[in-house]
Amino acid sequence: MTGKPRVEFEGVAIKDVLNYLSTVGKFSIVYDQALEEAGIDLATRTVSSRASGMKYEDAINLILPRECGYRIGPGYVLITTLEKSYLPLRTGIYSIQLALSVIPDFTDAPRFEVSQVTQAATAAAGGGGGAGALFGTTTKEPADTGRATPEKIIELVKKFVKNTNDRRIAPWDDDGGPATVQYLGGKLVVSQTDYGHRAVAKFLASVE
């Protein structure tokens, strides 16, 4: 599935588009029986799209209806229902030791710098405030709301790595899906799709 195909179709059956991509990309398309059982007929459903410079995987993701998904195998792509496309999930282990420090709160895109964490740790240790301690002056401890606990990191992973952003990411168990994330001995144990794992790794790299 190498190369970048040009996708330019107007009212063409989705199955015909998939077959075209498989011919150009020199891979096979396999249609799961689960599609018929779910009443999904890709031969009668049409798509209109125009794009270029994208990978075959992204092109397939673009033209498939929302209730469909796919899995990539050696030399073939299995087209199936969205629920079946998640399974079987793969389990991965991620170290979060660097992330377990004081981090700022954020509401949008996660952006963390090592220098910010270092400065925050220095300030929390009393850097620049030694004079007050010499005279016995007590200061109020900073609030712990910004401290990165395992629970908070898990919460952020589930917030920014989610199925609503990309259907190739399996929904988390909190949302009734099959994907899970647990903390164990300084590491996150994550069960996700391959694409979900890439998203988790990218997110954790941004906070460390």
Which residue segment(s) compose the domain that 59 sits in? 7-85
Q: Is residue 1 part of a domain?
A: no
For the domain that residue 28 is a member of, what is the CATH number?
3.55.50
**pLDDT averaged over every residue in the chain:** 82
The answer on 160 and 97 residing in a single domain is yes
What's the N-to-C CA distance of the chain in angstroms? 33
- Nearest one of 194, 207, 171, 184 to 93, comparing CA atoms: 184
Number of domains in the chain: 2
- pTM value surpassing 0.75: no
Angstrom distances, CA of residue 139 to CA of 82, 131, 132, 136, 184:
55, 12, 8, 10, 35
Residues 23 and 112 in one domain: no
Q: Are residues 80 and 94 in the same domain?
A: no
Residue 39's H or E segment, with its range, is none
Instruction: Flag whether 2 is in a domain.
Output: no
Does residue 118 share a domain with residue 34?
A: no
- The 10s digit of each residue's pLDDT in 126-152 is 444 433 433 344 444 444 555 689 999
| Residue where a domain stops, chosen among 85, 106, 122 | 85
- DSSP-derived pairing of the beta strands 76-81 and 28-31: parallel
Gap between the Cα atoms of 120 and 128, Å rounded: 12
Residue among 104, 95, 99 at smallest CA distance from 124 = 104
Q: DSSP class of residue 110?
A: -
DSSP one-letter code for 175: G
What mean pLDDT comes out for the span 91-115?
64
Q: What is the pLDDT of residues 22-61, one digit of tens each?
A: 999 999 999 999 999 999 999 999 999 888 888 999 999 9
Q: What angle do CA 166, 160, 97 make, to 5 degrees?
A: 130
Determine the pLDDT at residue 1: 67
Quick one: 81 and 147 in the same domain? no
How many residues belong to the chain? 208
Do 74 and 101 sit in the same domain of this protein? no
Give the sign of the dihedral formed by CA 13, CA 14, CA 17, CA 22: negative
Considering the domain architecture, whether residues 112 and 153 belong to the same structural domain is answered as yes
